[in-house]
Amino acid sequence: MGILKILVVVIFGVVLHGIESLGEGLLVFDYYKETCPFVEDIVRRQVEIAVHKDPRMAASLLRLHFHDCFVMGCDASVLLDSIDEMVSEKQAAPNLNSLRGFSIIDEIKYILEEACPYTVSCSDILTIAARDAVVLRGGPEWAVLLGRKDSLKASFDGANKYIPSPNSSLETLIANFQQQGLNVQDLIVLSGQDQRVAPLDFRTPARFDNHYFLNILEGKGLLGSDDVLITQDYEGEIRRQVWSYASDQTLFFDSFVKSIVKMGNINVLTSHEGPSHGPFHGPSNPRNGKSAFRRKKLQATPTMATASPSGRSNRDGTAKAMVADHISQSVRSTSNLLHLMQQSSSAQASSLSLAQLRKLPKNLLAKASTMRNTGKILEQMPQVVSSLDAYVEKGLESIPRLQTVVQLLTNMESSQLKSLSQFQHPQEESESLHQPKDVD
């Protein structure tokens, strides 16, 4: 009985994507629940492809998020190219010829524009991608607050001023972090964050772990700003904290999550603040959003502007395949739940309210219908859902009826996959999924 309840909770989480939010903050966890429910799945898949091809890309994506947030806040200004009088942050000394991962963000943005036009901000993409990069290298996972808007202004001077130098003194590092609303604890946790998922950590080069702290305790920090955490800590407070993290990875992971979430909330533009900072893109203002994305595309996404027809077709196929894949996963989750109920007693089966069970396919349908290019996938679903409703209303306490419901769900999955094949070239899709274009 306990296992059944746990599985029900898990599956509901998969299908409904949760409704948790941060009541006192400007960002929320479920910002794209209605407008682009697959956003985190799409970002995760593209980050997985990039990191599998180049493990160092995990560090690059985390660093990109860090360098974005430290200049005017987490607003994707780091992605903007120079235009007219505006000099790109990419040209600033801390970023020039060192930041990577721009093409990965471009690729993710393109796919999301196909799935959910003018909806997901680049600043949210950067934040999700940073989280996924950490997770893919063995680090902690956390829920990402969403709802940031993008700036159309870059700050070359700000990038030179606020991004810590590899040779900064401890006093300068503390001042830099305090200017961002971060404290010494955040400095310790976030300093060298990109090194922990890069070959610069010679102990465990492919993992996100606490060995960075062991390195600096032994005087083996690879940057000057690493060693000053110890050598210039005259009161010993930082050294004691470094020892704590070096000896307790769980403690470090917990602290890292708190600090990275805090950093991701620096000076964010939201639907309420966006207009005062210039155009932004997002569902609350489609006109500004469309204009902003076009300018963003010209400035920050050269791969979009120069994509060949075949490249566009591959991306279209990738977006469609992702939609189909996640619909299939939701259907299979529902089917698995019903199979489990079949193997349970009648009392256990009836413990799941019929009203809750009825929501599963309906939410699945509603979720899929928000996605672009899925019309043919959905053509055969309403009839299946209607039939399922009829069986649910008759009472799923009747175990023999469950087999029929499971079959209906299986048919639903088969129907959407068959429909997908009618408007997509399988070979083209395979190439887009398994042979991604080169990354930075």
Residue 227 annotated in ligand binding:
no
Q: Is 142 helix (H, G, I), strand (E, B) or coil?
A: coil
Residues 69 and 173 occupy one common structural domain: yes
Structural domain count of the chain: 2
Residue 12 has pLDDT above 90, yes or no: no
Range with top average pLDDT, 18-32, 137-151, 344-358: 137-151
Residues 352 and 374 occupy one common structural domain: yes
Alpha helices in 343-394 (DSSP H): 346-350, 354-369, 375-378, 381-393
Angle, helices 399-422 vs 381-393, to 10°: value is: 170
- Residues pairing with 86 in the sheet: 83
Residues 275 and 342 occupy one common structural domain: no
Residue 307 has pLDDT above 50, yes or no: no
Residue 201 annotated in ligand binding:
yes
Range with top average pLDDT, 18-27, 121-130, 158-167: 121-130
* 263 is a domain residue: yes
For the domain that residue 355 is a member of, what is the CATH number? 1.20.120
Residues 181 and 94 occupy one common structural domain: yes
Q: Is 264 helix (H, G, I), strand (E, B) or coil?
A: coil
Handedness of CA 251, 256, 259, 264 (dihedral sign): negative
Residues 300 and 322 occupy one common structural domain: no
Residues 271 and 380 occupy one common structural domain: no
Please write the tens of the pLDDT for every residue from 134-183: 999 999 999 999 999 999 999 999 999 999 887 778 888 899 999 999 99
> In the listed set 305, 337, 371, which residue is the last one of a domain according to the structure?
305
Residue 127 annotated in ligand binding:
no
Task: Tell me the residue range of the domain where 401 lies.
Answer: 317-434
Amino acid at 198: A
Residue 413 annotated in ligand binding:
no
> In the listed set 284, 305, 326, which residue is the last one of a domain according to the structure?
305
* 11 is a domain residue: no
Residues 166 and 283 occupy one common structural domain: yes
Arithmetic mean of pLDDT, 124-143: 95
User: Whose CA is closest to 113, among 364, 296, 366?
Assistant: 296
**Residues designated catalytic:** 67
Residues 393 and 428 occupy one common structural domain: yes
Residues 204 and 277 occupy one common structural domain: yes
* 4 is a domain residue: no
Range with top average pLDDT, 107-121, 229-243, 288-302: 107-121
Strand (E) or helix (H) holding 60: helix 57-69
Residue 89 annotated in ligand binding:
yes
> What residue has token string 């499971």?
406
Geometric angle at alpha carbon 370, from 369 and 376, rounded to 5°: 40
Least confident of 139-143, 262-266, 333-337, 379-383: 379-383
Least confident of 208-212, 366-370, 405-409: 366-370
* 259 is a domain residue: yes
* 19 is a domain residue: no
Please write the tens of the pLDDT for every residue from 246-296: 899 999 999 999 999 999 999 999 864 443 233 333 333 332 333 334 334
Q: Mean pLDDT of all residues in the chain?
A: 68
* 8 is a domain residue: no
Residues 273 and 337 occupy one common structural domain: no
Residues 168 and 223 occupy one common structural domain: yes
> In the listed set 251, 274, 305, which residue is the last one of a domain according to the structure?
305
* 7 is a domain residue: no
Flag whether the pTM goes above 0.85: no
Residue 33 has pLDDT above 70, yes or no: yes
Contacts 24+ apart (CB under 8 A), 436-439: 436/46, 436/49, 436/50, 436/53, 436/107, 437/103, 437/107, 437/303, 437/311, 438/103, 439/50, 439/53, 439/54, 439/57, 439/100, 439/101, 439/103, 439/104
* pLDDT at site 82: 94
pLDDT band at 396 (very low <50, low <70, confident <90, very high): very low
Please write the tens of the pLDDT for every residue from 74-90: 999 999 999 989 999 99
Residues 426 and 282 occupy one common structural domain: no
Q: Is 352 helix (H, G, I), strand (E, B) or coil?
A: coil
Residue 41 annotated in ligand binding:
no
* 14 is a domain residue: no
Burial of 130 (0-12, 13-18, 19+ CB in 10 A): buried
For the domain that residue 92 is a member of, what is the CATH number? 1.10.520.10
